[in-house]
Amino acid sequence: MAPSPQTQEEVETELVKDEARFRLALRDHNIHGRVHDKLVAYYLEGDAADKFLDALLANDLHAATLLSDDSNTVDIRDYSRLMLDAMESASWGDRITVAAWKVGRGKRGEYERGLP
């Protein structure tokens, strides 16, 4: 495991690496390009996604299905695999966990809380 970033510059470097890895995972998991930026912003910065993605991240299958369009309904399995394979468990799971990830500012917040 790599050492934690020790400076703000190292935090930014890690976030660039994380973004590249996460975008590759989005592509590899067949996630529609139109939601890539929303998911990246949520995962790295804790930014709000949208109601469908929030429901999906919170494991609310009923709400996610009601809020999805036809292509997203078909792709819910791909989103689930992405969460399991490429996202920290602290970033998804239920509404409280998703809200905490947003308040904590995502990966950026995790790194910055570890700064000396």
In a domain, 1, yes or no: no
CB 26 within 8 A of CB 41: no
For 13-37, what is each residue's pLDDT tens digit? 999 999 999 999 999 999 999 999 9
Query: Is it the case that residue 3 has pLDDT exceeding 80?
Result: no
For 76-98, what is each residue's pLDDT tens digit? 999 999 999 999 999 999 999 99
For 38-75, what is each residue's pLDDT tens digit? 999 999 999 998 999 999 999 999 999 999 988 888 89
What range does the domain containing 89 cover? 8-113
User: pTM score > 0.85 for this model?
Assistant: yes
Structure tokens at 78: 């791909």
Q: How many domains does the chain have?
A: 1
In a domain, 3, yes or no: no
